[in-house]
Chain A
C-alpha cells in the first residue's frame, strides 16, 4: 500500500541532497543522520540543510560539542521545545549531529555575484 508520509518525501529529498553534495565525505552515521533529521522534523525550523531561517538558527556545522548539543536538545527552555530521549533516542541524536557536521560548506559569499549587487547601492 502506498503510504503518504512527509518524512518519506523529505527523506528522499535530503538523501539526494546529501549524496549530491557530500557523498565522498559522508560516513554511515551521517547518512543515517539525514534520514533521522528528516524524520524528526528538525528541518521544520532549521531547514533542510540546517541553514536556519526565521524560526530557528543555523545548526549545520554547529560550534557546539556533541555533549553541549545534546544537553540543549534535551533541556531547551526557549523557543525550541525540549526533545526527550523517548522521542529522539541518543543514537538518533548522534546521527543527527553527524549529519549536521557533514553538510557541505556553503560557497563564499564573495563568489556569488547576486549577493554583491544587493548591497551595492
Chain B
C-alpha cells in the first residue's frame, strides 16, 4: 500500500506553490495590466511609449517556454530563496511566468468596461486614480476573476513541471513513483487529485465571477 502521507504532503506542496505564486503574480500582474490598459492611446493615462514597452515585455516573457524559464532564472532564484531546489524555489519561476499572463488577462478584462462609464465618472469630477479604483476594477472584476481562474489552472499544470526539477508537489511524486518506479496507481491517483483541484478552482472561480457580475439571475 502506498504511503498516504506522501500523497497528502505532495498535495499540500502543490496547493502552497500555486497559492503563493498566484498571490505574488497578481500583486505584480494586476497593476501591470492596469497600466497597460490605461496607458493605451486615448485612455485616461495615455502614454504610447510606456504602453509599447510594457506590451513588448509581456510578449517577450510569454514567449519563453516554462521549462526554459525555470532553468534560466536559477541565479535569481538562488538570490531570492537561497536555493534552486525545493518548493519555495519553484515559486520564483511560477510567479514570473504568471505575471505577464495576468497582466494581459487584466488588460483584456478592462477592455470590456464600457467607455461611457469613464465619461460619466469624469463628468462627476473623478481623478484618474478614482476612476481606476471605483470604476475600472469593480466593473472588470468578473472578467479579472475569470482570468485569475485561468491562471491558477495553468499554474497547477506548470507546478507539476516544476516537480521535474526537484520542486516537490504532485508532479514530483508522479515522476518519481509513477514514472521512474512504474507505479501506475500513484500516477493515476496524482492525476485524479489534479483533476479535483482544477475542478474545484474552476467551480469557485465561476461562482465568484457570477456573484460579482450582479446580473440578477
Partners in one complex: no
